[in-house]
Structure 1
Amino acid sequence: MDRATHVFFDFFGTLVAYDPAVHPASRNAPHEFAVRTGADLDASTASRLWDRAWRELDDAARASGRECSMYEIACRYAELTLPTVGLPSAGELGRLVDEYLAAWSADIRLADSAAECLTDLARDHTLAVVSNTHHPTLVQQQLDRFDIARYFSDVVTSIEVGWRKPHSLIYKRALERCGGVAEQTVFVGDTWDADVQGPLTAGMRALYVGRPGPGRDAVTLAEIPELVRTATARLT
């Protein structure tokens, strides 16, 4: 078995822990947007319409593999809240996205043992983040926030590539940009289809740090460096 030279990490749910709920508990940015733009909506209705906009575009992206952006979700929400007025300015829509993401990401925290894992592996491996995300700067902002950006040679995201994991193009793009060879690359993530099955199909090996289940043995980030270096039986 070839020695691993590259390790690719998923981000959300792998390197950071987060609440995947669509509506942040701390702030209802969609309702604030509705008030600013003159839509006669209460907070509950605004949340319901935001959820509808989110689900419409995210479900379509999941079905097609084509990533959608937070700006597109904001535009769809505006269409639902202001059907007879037309879309607000790009600045107003961008403000909605920024305020929503600020609230959504406020409670993100670095996963247990993430910093130690990265410090260890970065000594003798090339590391990269390969993540699905709706917003082009979100992952980098969080890497800077937790002071772990320095460990990674590149950040490859679905919104940039245009396709979300497990589409083959995002893995191919990551390998090309990082100078990696699939057979010498290990993918680490918490989502089975995107972070295990997709990388395996692309010729990489994979380590699963998500919720264990039948046929889905999980490891911890603390175990990753040794597993990467020794290619034990727990390395898929």
Structure 2
Amino acid sequence: MPALRYKAVFFDLDDTLFDHRAHRREALAALRAAVRLNGDVAASLEAAHERHLQRTHGLLLAGAITLEQARLERLRGALADHGLEVDDERLASLEAVYRSAYDRHWRSVPGSVELLDALKRAGAWVAVVTNGRKNDQLAKLQRLGLLPRVDDVLISEELGCEKPSLEFFALAAKRARCQACECVMVGDLWNTDIVGATASGMSAVWLNRYQRDPQANAAATEIRSFQPLESVLEHFLQP
């Protein structure tokens, strides 16, 4: 195998290694069935849930609300956006339906485990870098069996800063004992993962599985999948 281009490879977690969007779609399908919403609102319900997730996530990380409160508020908002007002007791029962379906279907993004293993075999220092709460993010890595496959895990709650801040990526490079130019960031969110990493001096690989609008960045490479492995590895190896 040719030599690696980079000494350190950083992976985002949610929707890069952990298939959050697929889990959520299955959970929202269970929710739609419970409240008798037609399947033709699947896309709008997912978009509404994402809006309210973003609205509550900052409050959660700041300690202004609990995880349980955040989950209930996301659901309440998404349902209200579709004309459904429910009382607290009904909301709690619907959250239980959603959570049961979400937790039942945890899996990694297709091809991600094989890529992690191949990079480790090639001699890369591999870490997960993620925004979120320590216990939540570690639980995902443990359940998917990813912790033994990486050298380090950097979580915003522990670091005291978040992607896409330059401080976060500087700390990541320091943990890898590398210069930023010796590192590459792999992630699905353009502004959070790719812009932040390249602004810090790293290279980046943008995992664009859902065909978001293409972006221009000379330091970033776009891929649509982690498969086939041989083609994806070319982005990490010397020519």
Report if TM-score (shorter chain) is over 0.5: yes
Q: Tell me the secondary structure at the aligned position of residue 16 of structure 1.
A: coil
Deviations 1:107-164 (CA, angstroms, capped at 9, x unpaired): 231111111101110121000000112x212222222222221121111112222322
Q: Does the 8 Å CA contact 2:15/2:21 hold for their aligned counterparts? A: no
Identify the residue that residue 132 of structure 1 maps to in structure 2: 131
1:24 deviates by 4.3
Gap change, CA 1:105 and 1:201, over 3 Å in 2: farther
Q: Distance in 2 between matches of 1:68 and 1:103?
A: 27
- Of 143-152 and 179-188, deviating more is 143-152
Q: Distance in 2 between matches of 1:227 and 1:169?
A: 26
Q: Report the AA paired with residue 137 of structure 2.
A: V
Q: Does the 8 Å CA contact 1:5/1:184 hold for their aligned counterparts? A: yes
Query: Sequence identity, in percent?
Result: 24
Q: Does the 8 Å CA contact 2:128/2:153 hold for their aligned counterparts? A: yes
- Of 187-196 and 99-108, deviating more is 99-108
Partner of residue 226 from structure 1, selected from 219, 229, 234: 234
Q: Distance in 2 between matches of 1:172 and 1:101?
A: 36
Identify the residue that residue 48 of structure 1 maps to in structure 2: none
Q: Report the AA paired with residue 72 of structure 1.
A: T
1:168 deviates by 1.7
Q: Aligned runs of 1:1-236 on 2, under 5 Å?
A: 3-19=5-21, 24-25=27-28, 56-58=55-57, 61=58, 67-68=61-62, 72-74=66-68, 104-123=102-121, 124-133=123-132, 135-210=133-208, 211-215=211-215, 218-219=222-223, 220-221=225-226, 222=229, 223-230=231-238
Q: Which runs of 5+ in 2 are unaligned?
A: 32-48, 74-96
Q: Distance in 1 between matches of 2:114 and 2:67?
A: 36
Q: Distance in 1 between matches of 2:62 and 2:156?
A: 9
Q: What is the alpha-carbon root mean square deviation over aligned residues?
A: 3.9
Deviations 1:163-201 (CA, angstroms, capped at 9, x unpaired): 221112221222222222211001001110111110000
Q: How many residues align?
A: 192
Q: Does the 8 Å CA contact 2:181/2:202 hold for their aligned counterparts? A: yes
Q: Which runs of 5+ in 1 are unaligned?
A: 29-50, 79-98
Q: Does the 8 Å CA contact 2:12/2:188 hold for their aligned counterparts? A: yes
